[in-house]
Structure 1
């Protein structure tokens, strides 16, 4: 279970980083900043990879928590990781503001349910 806790922590940390990178930024500023885009995309990759690892290595946990959009996070990871110069940055921006706050709360809640000694 320690790896599960690590994967959940990776998701939380990546969301926190995305939040820090974009907190004082408008959508226009984000769309003009290659550095912010690259940093955010990298952290979406981390979220997706950790989500995929949870689904792969802890399928019982994933099944017990259908509220976690693990498959969707992995699909987003694939879209940004393999999109190269075709990533829709407006969708990335909307995802940051529409989906990540809820995902953060969901992951925090399930992480608190894990046994402390694992």
Structure 2
């Protein structure tokens, strides 16, 4: 039986989203647009989120479908745009994502993560406590 990586993927998403938000905390958009280091840090965080979302969709499709409150396809799409169009990254979109989409993701992830724990518990043998 293969190891359940779903909780890890969700944890990676949570940490990367929190990191990205912290990188821009107190920063004006104009400052972000001038700060290549912060741009790179945020973009890397987005890649981590999007890779974890892709792994979840591919390996745990039923779970992703059951938790449509997360924008799985949008996250995967953002990853593809970043990974395959690096020189065409729209920093306005990155800024908007970290200002609006990531805080919303951070609100929803704890409940989704809790459901992943419950599913893992249900999948274990009944003689093992959760």
- Would you say same fold, with TM above 0.5? yes
Q: Which residue of 2 aligns with 1:10?
A: 12
**Other structure's SS at 2:68 match:** coil
The CA deviation at 1:81 is 2.1
CA RMSD across the alignment: 1.6
Structure exhibiting the larger radius of gyration computed from Cα positions = 2
Q: Which residue of 2 aligns with 1:66?
A: 68
Q: Which residue of 2 aligns with 1:106?
A: 108
Moved more, 108-117 or 68-77: 108-117
The CA deviation at 1:85 is 2.2
Displaced runs of 4 or more, over 3 A: none
Aligned length in residues = 118
Stretches of structure 1 lacking an aligned partner (at least 5 in a row): none
The CA deviation at 1:104 is 1.2
Q: Which residue of 1 aligns with 2:33?
A: 31
How many Å separate the matches in 2 of 1:105 and 1:3? 21
Stretches of structure 2 lacking an aligned partner (at least 5 in a row): 125-130
Q: What TM-score, normalized by structure 1, do the two folds share? A: 0.92
Moved more, 41-50 or 101-110: 101-110
Q: What TM-score, normalized by structure 2, do the two folds share? A: 0.84
The CA deviation at 1:37 is 0.5
